[in-house]
Amino acid sequence: MRPKKCLQLHICDPDHPRLCTQPSITEHAPLSGDNDQEKYMTRPTSPTARHLFDAIDCSPKTQKEIAKDAGFASPNILSMMKSGETKVPISRIPSLSQALSVAPGEFINIALREYHPDLHEVLSAHYGAGLSLSEKILLEVHDEAQLVAPFVLEAGLCDLLLELFVFSGRLQAEIG
């Protein structure tokens, strides 16, 4: 499949939707469709709707498949959400994220910032600022792994992760 232009100023390879680069600005982009016809729609102004719009456009799935995978009865609700006509329910973002293979944390953060700015400010001040860059990267890796193969952090897995981190730290100390 040939890479196609996507909306968040990305070029996305449909076979690898997470591998995107930043080319140029575009105000219109082709929408995913069951019959691959290029339809055009102006990007929504709502940041949350824009994020959903972009994720749908970069997905190799049809809107009907995304709706089914996310637990929606009809793809029409996705059309309403991605146009900004109706809000994306925050409680449905995790299932939408999984269906679209995008990180749920970023999607939830965008929605909270737009729909509940006071709550977003409080949560960011008390929970978001306390993470180091390494911790944020680790959480992103965790989220990516959960999308590929959901798992539970049981004691044995935690022990393995601890051993891996200790080994990595010792190796870096020897090299550096």
**Rounded CA gap, 16 and 2, in Å?**
11
**Rounded CA gap, 59 and 99, in Å?**
9
- List the chain pLDDT tens, one digit each, 176 residues: 334 444 333 334 444 444 433 332 333 344 444 434 334 567 788 999 999 999 999 899 999 999 999 999 999 999 999 999 999 999 999 999 999 988 888 899 899 999 999 998 888 877 765 667 787 788 888 888 877 887 788 888 888 998 998 999 899 999 97
Residue 166: the pLDDT is 92
Residue 130: the pLDDT is 63
Residue 33: the pLDDT is 44
Residue 141: the pLDDT is 86
The tokens for 76 are 């029409």
Residue 78: the pLDDT is 96
Looking at residue 128, the DSSP 8-state letter turns out to be: I
Residue 40: the pLDDT is 53
**What's the CATH number for 4-130?**
1.10.260.40
Residue 39: the pLDDT is 46
Residue 81: name the closest of 89, 91, 69 by CA.
89
Q: C-alpha angle 55/60/62, rounded to 5°?
A: 85
- Phi first, then psi, for residue 82 (nearest 5°) are -75, -20
